[in-house]
A = this chain, B = another copy of it.
Amino acid sequence: MNRQTSSDSDRDDSRHTAQLSTTSLDLDRRRRCGYPEVVYGKGKTVETLVEIFTAMLDEGQEVFATRISPKKADRLQSSFANGQYNQLARTFRLSPTPAKHSTGSKPTPAEVAIITAGTSDLPVAEEARETLDWMGVSVTMIHDVGVAGPHRLPARLAEFETARAIVVVAGMEGALPSVVGGYVACPVIAVPTSVGYGASLNGIAALLSMLNSCASNVAVVNIDAGFKAGYLAGLIAKTDPSDENRTAGTEE
């Protein structure tokens, strides 16, 4: 995760942007932000996606795309045979070199825990898990421990209390992040989901609930934003106070 300082990076910004047909690909992002650009699949045609993926692979970058429908995934797979599609998470991954992610050899205990309130929250949790896996962060998942069965969460405290960051995924009243936040010392990234009906307002109720959490360690992302929650948790888990980058810029 080495990064240059700003002093010499301003000079050649244009070099770092690939002007595709309708896309300005940010190839400099890995240097600047630690990870390459993640491709948001919704609203992009398969043609555009192929063009972007190819440009990234040419630069030797790992491709990670979110919100890829099964239909698009089928067509992408015909262009990129070694692409890996997770239908539940709707993510598509592609490596410039043979399989280096998902090694499974990560040390125990997990760096990040993902906790869901109900089984309907699973797709969002999976998107977060794929993101963390892509970042090389070890994950543990705890499912279906919503507040209406209040004994289920503390029974599994040992599985998540040593995580460096926790992603909590919940719809309906969105109360779980507050409860989790009260048990741990690490940051909690709360993801409201659109699970529910009526006054859930497609996730607005859970979102408002989480924003008003009386637990001090709860931050919130957009409704159903599994990727963003995973990404933030990964950045937190990777934060290293002894990282030399904090005091001086170095070459990659």
**Within residues 195 to 221 of chain A, which ones have a CB less than 8 A from any CB in chain B?**
195-221
Cα–Cα, bound, A154→B1 (Å): 21
**Is the pair A48, B208 in contact by a Cβ cutoff of 8 Å?**
no
Copies of this chain:
8
Chain A binding surface SS class: loop
Of A73-81, A97-105, A232-240, the segment with at least 4 beta carbons within 8 Å of chain B is A232-240
A57 smallest CB distance to B (angstroms): 19
A209 proximity list for chain B (CB < 8 A): 173-175, 205-206, 208-209
Query: Which residues of chain B have C-beta atoms less than 8 A from A148's C-beta?
Result: 26, 178-179, 181-182, 213-216
Q: Which 6 A-B pairs have the closest CB atoms?
A: A198-B223, A43-B120, A175-B175, A34-B185, A219-B219, A205-B208
* Residue ranges of A at the interface with B (Cβ–Cβ < 8 Å): 1, 3, 5-7, 10, 13-14, 16-17, 22-24, 26, 28-29, 32-35, 37-38, 40, 42-44, 48, 109, 111, 117-120, 122, 143-152, 154-155, 157-158, 161-162, 164-165, 172-175, 178-179, 181-187, 189, 192, 194-225, 227-228, 231-232, 235-242, 245-247
